């Protein structure tokens, strides 16, 4: 439930850059803080040069007039390590996609409880009609038993997050009992480091992964990654087109099998 306010100098950024900034920041919030993709409220405050003052070198960070001051109000509970990963990813992603310097991405997190939010109609939706992700069940027994040793390796899973529902956070959990190391590497390395590398967008990584799975005929992994691709903004039509394209490169039977999985997982409405 983030509310984002970004202040900037009016003469330094155009509308296109601001929209790209908003989308890039949301990608980081979805990935690192498990924010629902449609929980998207971002307000930009344009200021004149005479209204925008800041230290150009506080804490040895060389800021320029392109500075974006980003204030994010959100629910409490994320660990310091998770926040550090978010800061790094958000600054890198905004810098890459918006043509800015990471030094010019200034972020402040302001935590506030669910009782402090009204999303309209004069109602306290997070109290009166809390979404499923706000009522996360207790930790599984096996996870609770290992929480002390795993805390330094696996991102903290706050009570108000989408931890159980988030696709990325659920990766590897099915193997936790039989192979804790497999589950750990899946979360910490695959989704904690590889997927988080800002060199490629989540959308690009979904495209690459789906192409590899269809080409290899790995139908059992497709449902998960089709849902992940949907979370990353790919449409049903685009996924169908991917299968059609791969029919000529990976093989008609593999593409047909993938289309069958797509129809089952994402029927047309």
Taking the mean position of all CA atoms in its chain, how far away is CA 51?
A: 33
Rounded Cα gap, residues 65 and 181, in angstroms: 47
Predicted confidence at residue 258, as pLDDT, reads 92
Predicted confidence at residue 156, as pLDDT, reads 32
In which domain, by residue range, is 248 found?
Answer: 202-265
Q: Is 4 helix (H, G, I), strand (E, B) or coil?
A: strand
Asked if the model's pLDDT at residue 154 lies above 50, the reply is: no
- What are the tens digits of pLDDT across the range 116-147? 889 898 988 888 877 655 554 333 333 333 33
Mean pLDDT for all residues in the chain: 82
Predicted confidence at residue 78, as pLDDT, reads 83
Rounded Cα gap, residues 194 and 116, in angstroms: 36
Asked if the model's pLDDT at residue 14 lies above 80, the reply is: yes
Q: What percentage of the chain carries pLDDT values higher than 70?
A: 82
What is the total count of domains within the chain? 3
Burial (0-12, 13-18, 19+ Cβ within 10 Å), 32: buried
Asked if the model's pLDDT at residue 198 lies above 80, the reply is: no
Q: Is residue 133 domain-resident?
A: no
Predicted confidence at residue 169, as pLDDT, reads 55
- What are the tens digits of pLDDT across the range 20-31? 999 999 999 998
Asked if the model's pLDDT at residue 264 lies above 50, the reply is: yes
In the block, which residue shows the tokens 């009570």?
159
Q: Is residue 135 domain-resident?
A: no
Same domain, 22 and 110: yes
Same domain, 244 and 149: no
Which amino acids are annotated catalytic? 2
Angle, alpha carbons 88-3-55 (nearest 5°): 55
Same domain, 11 and 104: yes
Q: How far is CA 153 from CA 5, 54, 118, 150, 173, in A?
A: 32, 36, 35, 5, 15
Same domain, 52 and 8: yes
Position with higher pLDDT, 48 vs 31? 48
Rounded Cα gap, residues 252 and 62, in angstroms: 55
Asked if the model's pLDDT at residue 193 lies above 70, the reply is: yes
Q: What percentage of the chain carries pLDDT values higher than 90?
A: 48
Task: Give me the mean pLDDT over the 89-99 stretch.
Answer: 93
Rounded Cα gap, residues 252 and 38, in angstroms: 36
Predicted confidence at residue 15, as pLDDT, reads 95
Q: Is residue 121 domain-resident?
A: no
Predicted confidence at residue 269, as pLDDT, reads 55
- What are the tens digits of pLDDT across the range 219-263? 888 988 988 888 888 888 899 999 999 999 999 999 999 999 999
Give the tokens for residue 173.
Answer: 């959990």
Same domain, 166 and 241: no
Whether residue 154 contacts residue 108, with contact meaning beta carbons closer than 8 Å, is answered with no
Task: Give me the mean pLDDT over the 75-101 stretch.
Answer: 91
What one-character DSSP code corresponds to residue 129?
Answer: S
Asked if the model's pLDDT at residue 168 lies above 70, the reply is: no
Q: Is residue 233 domain-resident?
A: yes
Q: Is residue 28 domain-resident?
A: yes
Q: Is residue 31 domain-resident?
A: yes
Predicted confidence at residue 153, as pLDDT, reads 32
Q: Is residue 97 domain-resident?
A: yes
Same domain, 70 and 95: yes
pTM: 0.53
Same domain, 71 and 49: yes
Q: Residue 251: left (phi > 0), alpha (psi -120 to 50), or beta?
A: left
Task: Give me the mean pLDDT over the 134-163 stretch.
Answer: 35
Same domain, 24 and 88: yes
Same domain, 144 and 107: no
């Amino acid at each position: 439930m983030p509310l984002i306010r970004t202040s900037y100098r009016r003469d330094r950024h155009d509308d296109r850059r601001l929209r790209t900034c908003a989308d890039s920041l949301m990608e980081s919030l979805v990935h690192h803080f498990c924010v629902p993709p449609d929980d998207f409220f971002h307000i930009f405050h344009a200021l004149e040069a005479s209204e925008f003052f800041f230290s150009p070198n506080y804490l040895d960070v060389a800021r320029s007039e392109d500075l974006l001051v980003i204030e994010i109000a959100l629910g409490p509970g994320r660990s310091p390590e998770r926040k550090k990963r978010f800061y790094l990813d958000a600054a890198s992603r905004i810098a890459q996609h918006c043509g800015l310097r990471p030094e010019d991405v200034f972020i402040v997190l302001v935590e506030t409880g669910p009782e402090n939010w009204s999303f309209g109609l004069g109602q306290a939706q997070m109290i009166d009609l809390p979404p499923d992700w706000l009522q996360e069940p207790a930790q599984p027994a096996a996870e609770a038993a290992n929480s002390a040793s795993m805390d330094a390796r696996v991102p903290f899973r706050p009570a108000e997050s989408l931890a159980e529902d988030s696709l990325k956070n659920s990766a590897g959990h099915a193997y936790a009992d039989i192979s804790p190391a497999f589950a750990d590497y899946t979360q910490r390395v695959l989704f904690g480091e590889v997927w988080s590398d800002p060199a490629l967008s989540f959308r690009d990584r979904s495209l690459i992964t789906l192409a590899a799975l269809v080409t290899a005929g790995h139908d059992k992994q497709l449902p998960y990654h089709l849902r992940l691709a949907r979370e990353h903004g790919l449409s049903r039509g685009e996924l169908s087109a991917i299968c059609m394209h791969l029919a000529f490169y990976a093989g008609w039977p593999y593409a047909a099998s993938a289309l069958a999985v797509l129809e089952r997982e994402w029927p047309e409405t």
